[in-house]
Every structure is written in structure tokens, then in C-alpha cells.
Structure 1
Amino acid sequence: MTQLKENTQKHIEVEAGDLPLHCPMPSMLKWNAHPRVFLPIEAKGEALCPYCGTKYVLKGGPVGHGH
């Protein structure tokens, strides 16, 4: 069973399995805290939610670069 997390954390690391990335994430306790917005994290390896300011960082960096 997935444990829900309070979405008060402002820096979250995500993995490739979390893509396509959107905020709020399904595992967040207040999943409906603001409208769902998809975040383009693949190219830069990080993204900032325009609604709540949460910064997402992709573990391993940008997708498809140098591997």
C-alpha cells in the first residue's frame, strides 16, 4: 500500500518511473491542492511547479543525454 505524503516538502527527487511528471503527485495527501500541471523535467533534469513552487529534481539528471 502506498503511503500518502503531506505535500509541504518543497524539494522532491523523482525517478524515471514517475514520468510524465505532474504536480501534485498521486502520492501526496492533498492531491487536489491545485490544478494538475504537467512539468517538463526530461530536458533539464529539474522543474518548478508554477502553482506551489515545489522543485522537482530527476535522479540521474536529464533523460537521453550522454548515455
Structure 2
Amino acid sequence: MSRHADATPNDKNEYQVTEKDLPLHCPTPAMSLWNSHPRVFLPVTDSGKAKCPYCGAVFVYVGEKHAHH
């Protein structure tokens, strides 16, 4: 998500994330934190999609799927 250096919460409705964004949390490091909500970790690899319960941002995992051990 580093390509969204000026991203802010609710800047977009959907964000694509990859392996390098894991463990995924919202707000992400690329988002402005001064007006954000508390950090919440999101299990995006389980279903391939996760929604932030605070701001409603949707994260779609586009990385390689891993088998559970």
C-alpha cells in the first residue's frame, strides 16, 4: 500500500493488499493518522476480503493464497 502515500481513511472504499501488507491493519501506515480510528487488525487472507468495522474500508487480498497448516 506504499503507493498510496497520501491516502486517508475513507479516501477510497476499496484497497488491494498483498503479502507485504500483512499483518493487515486499518488504518494502514500510508493513511493519515491524525483523524483516524484505533488500529484494528483484519484477517484478510481467510476469505480474501475484509472490512474495517470503524471506517468501512474494504481490503481485498490479491496476494498468493497459502494453505493452512
TM-score range with shorter-chain normalisation?
0.7 to 0.9
**Structure in which a larger fraction of residues adopt helix:** 2
State how 1:1-67 maps to structure 2 within 5 Å: 3-7=5-9, 8-30=11-33, 33-60=36-63, 63-65=65-67
- What's the CA shift for 1:23? 0.2
Alpha-carbon distance change, 43 to 13 in structure 1, aligned in 2, over 3 angstroms: same
RMSD of the alignment, in Å?
A: 1.9
**Identity over aligned pairs, percent:** 44
Give the TM-score taking structure 2 as reference length: 0.77
Structure 1, unaligned runs of 5 or more: none
Query: After TM superposition, what 4+ stretches of structure 1 lie above 6 angstroms from structure 2?
Result: none
Give the TM-score taking structure 1 as reference length: 0.79
For 1:18 and 1:31, the matched residues in 2 are separated by 21
Structure 2, unaligned runs of 5 or more: none
